[in-house]
Amino acid sequence: MRTSAKSPLYQKKYYMRIMISISLVAIILTGGLSTALYVYGKQTLFRIQSQHNVQVLNQARFNIELMSASIQNVAKYLFVHPDTTYILNATGNLDYDEIYRRLNRITGSVITSNTFIHSIGFFNDFHSQYYYAGKQMYYDDASLKQLIASYPNLPRMVPIFRTIENAFGKKIEQETVITYMMYETSGDPAAISSAVAINVNSDWIVDNINQISMLNEHEGEAAYIYSDSSGFLETGGTDAALRQSVLEDYLNERRDHSADSGSWEKKVNLTSHVVSYMRIPDLGLTIFKVQPSESVYRYLHAFQLYLLVIVAVFILLALFFSMKVSGIVYNPIRRLVSQAAGGQGKGMEKDEIAFLSDVYKDSFDRLQKYDSQKLDYNFVLRDYFIKSVLTGDVSRERFGGQCQEYRLDFQYDAPYYVFVAVIDDFIDLQTRYSSRDINLFKYAAINIFEETMQEYGGAVGVSLNDNDVVMLLQAGGDEEALHEQEMETIIGRFQEAVRRYYPVSLTVSVSKRVSGAMNLPAAFRHTYNLSAYRFLFGKGSRITSARVLRNKANPRQSHSPKLEAILLDNLRQGSIKGMEQAFEQLRDELAAMSYEHAIASNMHLMTAIYNELFASGRIAPQENGFADVWKSLWNYETLDDVFVSTLASLKRTFAQSDSESSTDKNIVDAVIELIRLNYDDNSLCADQIADSLGMKTRRLAQTFRQAMGMSIADYLNGVRMEKAAEMLRNSSMSVNEILVRAGYENESYFYRMFKNRYGMTPKEFALRTGDKDRNA
């Protein structure tokens, strides 16, 4: 035994792969779940905080709107109050004492009752004089003068943020107020003749918002008020960069969404903030509440620490679990490696999988060598013996001795069935698969046959020709012969099993039950002859002696001359649909005839088509197309293949008649549809169909005959005959029931039409095709 050249870890490479794979899956799942939980928690907190902020700002909006409504009422009141009108509209000499008294009354009645009012300014254009209530009577308000001079750009009763300068000796302090302007104009051009400016304490609004919002200024929370006309209301030590960023995001939000409230998260100067806003459209104001994200997600960040601890613990558990599971999964491989190493008498120089692969290759080479020897000496001789039994006369002594030698549990005097399975589309199969693959398919079919037939007796198979396999079934001596329906069921199971696993379709013929091995050669020749009926029954069919006998008992020796005439008439007219219909009916006739008569009839029919095409000048002897079909009739496996190829070549020859208009095509399709749906109506006729389509009967008949090559009545009878034949094959109804369901009233007429078409009475047809007894 050689010494391992690799490390123990490398020799357990597959074990490490299992453990790492399980660990990675557990870690990825844990990390993904934790991340999803964290993201969901963050989104939930943001949504809850946003909803709370919007509710708070909505309350502030209500207070501001209430204050604004109060100011509007005050403005209306002042404009009609005698004291105010005296000041605003005076044109003569003014008594300053009188003005002072009136201003004091205004101060006492208006300003003291509305605590949010800072002061009231009055402007009299006639005297070019400004007066104030709540401040010195002749207070010099430069900002107010600028506002009045800005007319006509001065809005009425809209909040305007502005600054008032107060002088205390040489010291000047600025005070922010919110001004509402009410004025009248006169002259040409128009100018303000009188005005009232109501100044509101900005601190009153800010304090109101702060109280409602319960702002925590120590944590960086802030509230801003923004005017569409005059920008932000200054509130002291606010962060200008933050306010500008909030404004930019707000304007973008307004472009994308028209809602009056909303929230978003924004990072400014490396600090993330949650911003909520509430718009007051009537006043052109917007209130913002800004909170550092850290304060919003405070509890989530605390939870994050616990989550990381949980993830770490879970990863450790996952590693431990993966080691345990990997050991369980790896144990069978470990035992297999140990057994293989002991059996091979060598150590493992590679990882487990490479080692097992080498061991398998060595074993497979040995087995293949053994199988090839076995095939050379045993199976070849066994196949030769089976072929001898099928094709020649084997004596009783030789039969018994070689069955014992090749371990075949067959008896010389036992009853047997012979099966011949012919491969369908064999030429096409040869183009797609190699001869080795095809041989594999055939031997696989033999094995499937042997397994399928186990319950009925011993079975064996052999390949005689390139495109077939022949199989023997030894039935139990005491068992009765399998009847036809049971035999078709058995063959069907065999065919389906082959199709399920291999790209092969088989047509299977089976002999009658024969007694003794001495009768197998005759049974084989008879069964091989039965397989020729694939031409009539189609690919994948199940051919029994009883089914073939029904065809041989058919007295018809040729197809209907009338159908041939209809086909050739359609050929002259170039009607593809008419030819398709005629071919369909001809196929039914030929498929019910004996093989010899059907072959001769088909040859006659193809020759008639060739002569018609040649006489009409549509083809020449050297041309491809139908001429090739006609010359290679013996190469086609089934009658369906012949007719399909013929129709395809005729379609190429005619390339669809140009004279058949789309309108006529629609009419013909409608007639066919009506007949297919209403064939069981015994009153259905050309006149009734013409009435249904709103056409004249003569015009409809001409259009249909030109397209289909037959009259409406002939087509209707053809459909009814098809349906009657179908019901005779597939149902247990009596002939009288069937003829009524097929649309006939006259029994003798039905019998005559049916015999003309199928060459036998309905009862005979039912017995031969369905093997069912029916009472008329």
Q: How far is CA 154 from CA 146, 150, 179, 181, 279, in A?
A: 10, 6, 11, 8, 22
Q: Which 3-state string (H, E, C) describes 685-722?
A: CHHHHHHHHCCCHHHHHHHHHHHHCCCHHHHHHHHHHH
Using pLDDT thresholds of 50, 70 and 90, give the confidence band for residue 774: very low
Tell me if 224 sits within 8 A of 235, measured CB to CB. Answer: yes
What is the bridge-based pairing of β-strands 506-510 and 542-543?
parallel
Question: Mean pLDDT across the stretch 453-471?
Answer: 87
- DSSP-derived letter for residue 234 is P
Task: Tell me how far apart the terminal alpha carbons of the chain are, to the nearest angstrom.
Answer: 88
Q: Given a cut of 70, is residue 434 above it in pLDDT?
A: yes
Please report the pLDDT score of residue 392 as a whole number: 81
Please report the pLDDT score of residue 238 as a whole number: 54
Please report the pLDDT score of residue 364 as a whole number: 60
Q: Given a cut of 50, is residue 370 above it in pLDDT?
A: no
Question: Mean pLDDT across the stretch 587-592?
Answer: 91
User: What is the C-alpha separation between 562 and 637, in angstroms, rounded?
Assistant: 27
Q: pTM of the prediction?
A: 0.42
Question: Mean pLDDT across the stretch 733-759?
Answer: 87
Question: Mean pLDDT across the stretch 20-36?
Answer: 81
Q: What is the DSSP string of 436-494?
A: HHHHHHHHHHHHHHHHHTTTTEEEEEE--STTEEEEEEEE-TTSPPPPHHHHHHHHHHH
Residues 178-206: pLDDT tens digits? Answer: 999 988 888 888 888 889 999 998 888 77
Using pLDDT thresholds of 50, 70 and 90, give the confidence band for residue 553: very high
Using pLDDT thresholds of 50, 70 and 90, give the confidence band for residue 10: very low
275 SS3 class: strand
Q: What percent of the chain shows pLDDT beyond 70?
A: 88
Residue length, the chain? 776
Q: What is the DSSP string of 549-584?
A: HHHHT----S--HHHHHHHHHHHHHT-HHHHHHHHH
Q: Given a cut of 60, is residue 725 above it in pLDDT?
A: yes
Please report the pLDDT score of residue 206 as a whole number: 79
Please report the pLDDT score of residue 537 as a whole number: 92
User: Which strand (E) or helix (H) includes residue 73?
Assistant: helix 13-80
Q: Given a cut of 60, is residue 657 above it in pLDDT?
A: no
Q: What is the CA radius of gyration of the chain?
A: 52
Q: How many CB atoms lie within 10 A of CB 304?
A: 15
Question: Mean pLDDT across the stretch 269-279?
Answer: 84
Residues 165-174: pLDDT tens digits? Answer: 887 777 888 8
Query: What's the chain's average pLDDT?
Result: 81
